[in-house]
Amino acid sequence: MRLLKVAAAALNQTPLAWEANRQNIVSALGAAKDAGVGVLCLPELCITGYGCEDAFLAPFVRETALDILGELLPETRGLVVSVGLPLHHAKAVFNASALVADGKLLGFVAKRALAGDGIHYEPRWFKPWPAGTRTRVDVRGQEYPLGDHVFDVGGVRIGFEICEDAWMAKRPGAELSLDAVDVILNPSASHFAFGKHEVRKRLVLEGSRAFGVAYVYSNLLGNEAGRAVYDGDALIAAGGAVIARAPRFSLRTVELVTAVVDLDLGDVRQGGLSSYQPNLEEPAELSVRAAMSYPPVRSVSRPLEEAGWERTARTKEEELTRALTLALFDYLRKTGARGFVVSLSGGADSSLVASLVAMAARRALAELGPGALAERLPFLAAGATATPEALVECLLTTVYQATENSSETTRAAARAVAHALGARHLELDVEELVRAYRGRIETALERKLDWEHDDLALQNIQARARAPSVWLIANVEHKLLLSTSNRSEAAVGYATMDGDTAGGLSPIAGVDKNFVRSYLRWLEHEGPLGLGPIPALRAVNEQAPTAELRPAAHAQTDESDLMPYDVLDAIERAAIRDKRSPREILATLGADFPAHDRTTLTGWVRRFFRLFAQNQWKRERYAPSFHVDDESLDPKTWYRFPILSGGFERELAELERD
């Protein structure tokens, strides 16, 4: 048997945070050595951080990355390690991985398939590496191999698929298999989205089976650059089975996962396939050879089964909890803010945002412990980590701001939720401010404003009157103000700019209203594994969603203003995700919602498309949001649409002719 201990690391990196990134890498190297690892895979672009964007085109960034690589070389003694960085060659920049063995740089492999859709813009900065191309690159006066090389290190043949390479129909692994590689390393920066873990896992285990290799997949971890969340899903597979994986959504900055593989089993399996035909005329330049002595190991790792929260019936809710609490914690840690402020209306969206902050605090204390948490958040006062309640009170301020149209129902709900979470809760009456604004405008216009003629303006001024106060509180407390808008509101612009959209971060702007409501019901009764339920949310869940901006006699609700949220979300997905026309959507909507007649459905389709086109400017101005669903409306990371357009007038006119 040829036994080898391999490892994959999940690292919580930050763009251009040179020392922090370097220290995370050094920590991973040290942990790998302590564990007796022979081959270690680090994430894609881990030296610079993946989200550097246009800074990748700056020469100093690439030069600094090479400096850091040089500083890391002595730390790699006794290991074979892949390290990701941008590499300049022939007037182009490549997304590359360096292979280092026992303190020596052996060469570079560059990514072939660049991620250029959705949240990714790699072709803006990098060039794709031409398949089968091998050359040499000058690095500080010394030449190294660059390209589609196989590395023979101490008798172990190593090849690469870099992130997106493995998601393509024509994977490099097929060629590497014919070149008799033993191990494929996949340095990745694969963002989280609902359900993506299962797809990723299949790619890894199928790669190990089809190519007859040990497949080692590393990934980033955490809220790296502000919007994308990485779940740290580092995996090791052999023989078509996952044998090791890192914990997903960890709050630690480094997670290492190891496994022992029998390289001979890959040979046996490939040799037994009638379809396998090895490349027997290997070009001399294909392999880079280096001597290496690997640490001795004994037993082989066995297939791994899912455990814990990932086996529950509500995996999507569990994933959202862990993704957003990790994202909020990292955002706090990396910005240096001292907590969060939430304008808590007593409704679903603000209650969810406040709950997520409280759960992030509880997770951090439970998983990191008081000492490590105080190191991450040095502003914490003495005693702030003594209990979860003390920590939440330190990190979360909630504010209820009443106008004459606010009800005692929402006031009581906000108070109950804040108390249950342990937040510092404030109550303000802003009706005087609203009347002052209204009075000044009535004087200037020389007429009274009334609900018959000025409905929207009178609603908006209430929302906007709340913003200065809550911003002031956030500034005074040196905290981040969180906006509470959701994805369904973003689709149709059902939000007041500079009012309820006020904030520096919008955590749930990628989550539709239907899921917000079902999640809160789950959170009320069951809650995440290890955190438990929040029964006080009953006061929120019993209400019909309402902006509470019209007088009570109007009986205002969100769905009476718009349409039922399940219909809205169905239209949005058909229009944006599936790119269907209004006519195509109407043709199928009746079967999905038989309780509504065709005339009503036609009106809702028309309303959606008109509001969507009119409100692109609002989506452009929303505070940064976390990407949790690969059906996002965020124009900066997923769905781009013109601010000025024809407003679907021709398409909507077709509805009248049916």
Beta-carbon count within 10 A of 429 CB? 13
The pLDDT value recorded for residue 632 is 87
Specify the 3-state DSSP secondary structure of 432: helix
Q: In this structure, are 509 and 652 located in the same domain?
A: no
Do 430 and 569 lie in one domain? The reply is no
Give residue 548's pLDDT: 87
Which of 554, 571, 588 lies at the terminal end of a domain, its last residue? Answer: 554
Shared domain for 511 and 436, answered yes or no, is yes
In terms of Cβ atoms closer than 10 Å to its own Cβ (0-12, 13-18, 19+), residue 542 is exposed
Same domain, 345 and 401: yes
pLDDT of 280: 65
Question: How far is CA 500 from its chain centroid?
Answer: 24
Task: Pick the last residue of a domain from 554, 589, 623.
Answer: 554
With tokens 């049916």, the residue in question is 658
User: Can you give the pLDDT at residue 575?
Assistant: 97
- E-strand ranges in 229-357 read 229-231, 235-238, 241-245, 254-262, 287-290, 340-343
DSSP per-residue string spanning 41-105: EPPTTTTT-TT-GGGGGSHHHHHHHHHHHHHHGGGGTT-EEEEEEEEEETTEEEEEEEEEETTEE
pLDDT of 658 reads 66
318 lies in the same domain as 356: yes
Residue 339: exposure state from Cβ atoms within 10 A (0-12, 13-18, ≥19)? buried
Q: How many CB atoms lie within 10 A of CB 340?
A: 30
Q: What are the tokens at 451?
A: 């609900």
Q: Where a domain ends, among 305, 329, 364? A: 305
Predicted pLDDT at 344:
97
By three-state DSSP, how is residue 651 classified?
helix
Secondary structure of 145-211 as H, E, C letters: EEECCEEEECCEEEEECCHHHHHCCCCHHHHHHHCCCCEEEEECCCCCCCCHHHHHHHHHHHHHHHH
Residue 89 phi/psi, 5-degree rounding, is: -155, 135
Phi–psi pair at 310, nearest 5 degrees: -75, -5
How far is Cα of residue 144 from the mean position of the Cα atoms in its chain? 35
Structure tokens at 282: 């290997």
Q: Which CATH number belongs to the domain containing residue 300 in this structure?
A: 3.60.110.10
Q: Are residues 374 and 238 in the same domain?
A: no
Do both 248 and 280 map to the same domain? Answer: yes
Q: Which residues, including other chains, have CB under 8 Å from residue 248's CB and lie 6 or more apart?
A: 197, 231, 232, 233, 310, 322
Pairing of the two strands 150-153 and 156-160 = antiparallel
- Name which of 547, 564, 561 is nearest 464 in CA terms: 547
DSSP 8-state assignment for residue 354: H
**What is residue 275's predicted lDDT score, i.e. its pLDDT?**
63
Asked whether residue 443 falls in the same domain as residue 498, the answer is: yes
Q: Which residues contact 400 (CB under 8 A, 6 or more apart)?
A: 343, 344, 345, 346, 410, 411, 414, 415, 418, 425, 426, 427, 428
The Cα–Cα gap between 434 and 260 comes to 67
Rounded Cα distance between 288 and 145, Å, is 8
| Tokens 């439970």, residue located | 366
Domain hosting residue 71, numbered range: 3-305
Helix axes 348-376, 408-421, angle to 10 degrees: 20
Alpha carbon distance 564, 550 (integer Å): 19
Angle made by CA atoms 563, 565, 570, in degrees to the nearest 5: 100
Which residues of the chain register pLDDT less than 70?
266-278, 280-284, 658
Are both 298 and 366 inside the same structural domain? no
- Asked if 65 contacts 286 with a C-beta cutoff of 8 angstroms, the reply is no
Q: At which residue do the structure tokens 């006066």 appear? A: 141
**Burial grade of 71 (CB within 10 A; 0-12, 13-18, 19 or more):** middle
Q: Report yes or no: 80 and 135 within 8 Å, Cβ to Cβ.
A: no
Six-digit token string for 64: 């600094």
pLDDT of residue 240: 94
Does 301 lie in the same domain as 367? no
Q: What is the CATH number of the domain that holds 568?
A: 1.10.10.1510
The verdict on 324 and 260 lying in the same domain is no
Model pTM score: 0.95
**DSSP-derived pairing of the beta strands 340-343 and 156-160:** unpaired
Indicate if 328 and 293 belong to the same structural domain. no
| Cα–Cα separations (whole angstroms), residue 153 to 81, 134, 183, 214, 233 | 11, 18, 11, 15, 27
Determine the Cα–Cα distance for residues 199 and 305; give it in Å rounded to an integer. Answer: 16
CATH code where residue 502 lies: 3.40.50.620
Q: How many domains does the structure of the chain reveal? A: 3
H/E segment holding residue 32: helix 18-34
